[in-house]
Amino acid sequence: MFFKRGRALEYVRPGSMFQRVHDDELLETAKVESVATDAYGIPHVKFKVSFSRPNRFTYDEGSRMLTLRSFADRYKERVLA
């Protein structure tokens, strides 16, 4: 599934990873599990989220789901393998 970010097109697929850093240096990482459209044609991203701190504390949280647009607005940085 593609979405537009500025002038660039991003591709989101299962296995893709994105992250964001909070003001308190908490690192939030999202790993995409699936991308699908609902009955109304709205694309949604199902992903697992984990949190880590600079001192190596890591907390894995369960799955979440957001619309593709909300996911793209929240997770702006792709994690390269």
Query: What residues does each domain of the chain span?
Result: 2-78
Q: What is the pTM of this model?
A: 0.82
Q: Which residues pair with 43 in a beta bridge?
A: 37
> pLDDT-derived band of residue 31, with 50, 70 and 90 as boundaries?
very high
Q: What confidence tier does 71 reach under pLDDT thresholds 50, 70, 90?
A: very high
Paired sense of beta strands 43-52 and 77-78, if any: unpaired
What is the per-residue pLDDT for 58?
Answer: 85
- How would residue 15 be classed by pLDDT, with cut points 50, 70 and 90? very high
Q: Which of 81, 76, 80, 64 is nearest to 3 (CA)?
A: 76
